[in-house]
Amino acid sequence: MTIAPDPATGPDRDAATRLVTNWVALWNGDYALADEIISPDNRVHAAMFDGGDGSAVAGVSGMKDLVGQMRSLMSDLDFSVEVGPVVDGDHVVIRWVATGHYGGGIPGAGAPVGTEVSFHGTDILRVENTRVVEYWLNADTLDLMTQLQVGAG
């Protein structure tokens, strides 16, 4: 699978679509897919809940841990693609929506366990040799934290 554009045909949209399908399935809890689509050299760029920049999340196991941490807050979390994939060279971009029910575990959250939440984000994936080698996450964390009443009251 090559994501990079072919000068004659443009970006390989089919390959990008397959990658995104597996990417979303990973975020929906199919951890085995991480071994297929994440590079051991993967780097993450994101504003993390703990204030970090994502640089501590590395490789396949780091991505599995990141997905697991998010899913531990909402075990029924369901991601779906709203826009994309948009392909630009070796980059693939999607806009997603996630829905689920809060399971507890965020310090300072005033929302009761079971509160339904929905929030959006954009993922930018840089791909080499069919695997994600860099991941930029831009999630609407303010919307999520507002729904969970973090810091309210």
Predicted confidence (pLDDT) at residue 16 exceeds the cutoff of 70: yes
* Residue 120 parent element (H or E): strand 116-128
**Domains by residue range for the chain, with CATH:** 13-147 (3.10.450.50)
The span from the CA of 16 to the CA of 1, in Å, is 8
The span from the CA of 140 to the CA of 153, in Å, is 21
Q: What is the pLDDT of residues 123-152, one digit of tens each?
A: 999 999 889 999 999 999 999 999 999 986
